[in-house]
Structure 1
Amino acid sequence: MKWLRINNNFSGIHKMKSVKPWAVIALALLLPACAMTKVAYVAPGAVRGQQAQILAEPICQPDSFGSGPVEIVAIDGLRTAQMLSMPNPVSYVPPGEHKFTIFHAVGTVSFTGHLKLNARPNVGYVLHCAGGGSRFWFTEGENGPVVGGIDF
């Protein structure tokens, strides 16, 4: 039975040992990326059909600082993103006055702003950014009138 030869010198185990560190590194890099989701933030008290929608512009209007995303990082003091997840581009809030914390970063330069908005039910608002993140404002709809103001 020459054709049924058993190889006791299986070198696959040695090769698997050399792959394990790479597998650990790959998992360490990929698992946090899986947790980085962009799901809409729904503020406490927001009821479907009676809520206002807040949309953050995906890119701050460029200037000498460059351009990058503008993010709503908190509404009424509550973070809009969970640990290891990215800030949400869309938020829903109940009618009434709300305070927003806005963040924008380009390279090593970052800007934080505080805005307030008296949200009406079933109205969409857009957060705009210019001056590389030094100016923030809300409009009703994409190109509607400026609403809200600076919160001190």
Structure 2
Amino acid sequence: MTHPPNPNSTFIFFELAHTTYAIPSPIVQQMEMIDHITPVPKTQPFVEGVVFSRGQVIPVVNLRVKFGLEKIPYNCSTRLIVIHINQRTIGLIVDTAREFVCVPPESIQPPPEEMPGWTSRYLSGIATLKDRVILLLNVDQLLNQSPSIEPLTQHPI
């Protein structure tokens, strides 16, 4: 079972395929534009390669591919979010990222247990801010589970 984040938590909001996700801001080291990624042979399809940033070689994961979404070319909005969690530093490629938001605890609900597939395992909660729905990622679970995430599919009711 996942638990909602601590009260008064701050998050970095980012988008993938017109859906807003959030990760806890304390694990974010930096956000930057995509410069040059060096491909690494024989890696999982979602691993784009490595980057050299601020004196570190950092593996880069394309979250679109990890989530089973269509891979798209990078553009001026594409961002690399460098996170540090459990003594690991990893870059996450997202469509866009530009918001730093404090999410009130009363706006966060646990993910519904009825959600199919990977969703409930990789979400720590779902926040509603005004008319926006934000999926709060459990980054630790996301990076430590199966090599890829099955794409969401429609299930008959």
TM range (shorter): under 0.3
Structure with bigger RCO (C-alpha 8 Å, 6+ apart): 2
Larger strand share, 1 or 2: 2
Larger helix share, 1 or 2: 1
Larger Rg: 1
| TM-score between the two structures when normalised by the length of structure 2 | 0.22
